[in-house]
Amino acid sequence: MALEFNDGNIKEIINSGKPVVIDFWAEWCGPCRMVGPVVEELAKEYDGKVTIGKMDVDENVETPEIYGIRNIPTILFFKDGQLVDKQVGVAQKSVLAAKVEALL
């Protein structure tokens, strides 16, 4: 299951030493609801290898601002605490899985 990230725990998670994937979304966002189940599937498939979670942009404004999130869904990919890739908009599971694999 995808974790729920927030402005308070995000720095610790990104710097945990594990690859991290963050799905920036909002409840009212139709495309986000399309990507959400894919993110959940990836979280199950990569459990223990990659930390995968979601951040609600309506409840957390600091982190989306830091990373320049202007459109949702936006998915950020981190390795060794550094942003290494980004996916803006809806993408197929195979595209997102390839990006996750690149983190390993």
Number of domains the chain contains: 1
pLDDT at 1 over 90: no
Mean pLDDT of all residues in 14-37: 96
What CATH number is associated with residue 79? 3.40.30.10
Confidence of residue 83 (pLDDT cuts 50, 70, 90): very high
Active site residues: 29, 32
Q: Radius of gyration of the chain from Cα atoms? A: 12
pLDDT at 37 over 90: yes
pTM of the entire structure? 0.95
Q: Is 91 exposed, middle or buried (0-12, 13-18, 19+ CB in 10 A)?
A: middle
pLDDT at 2 over 90: no
- Which residues constitute the domain of residue 24? 3-103
Confidence of residue 25 (pLDDT cuts 50, 70, 90): very high
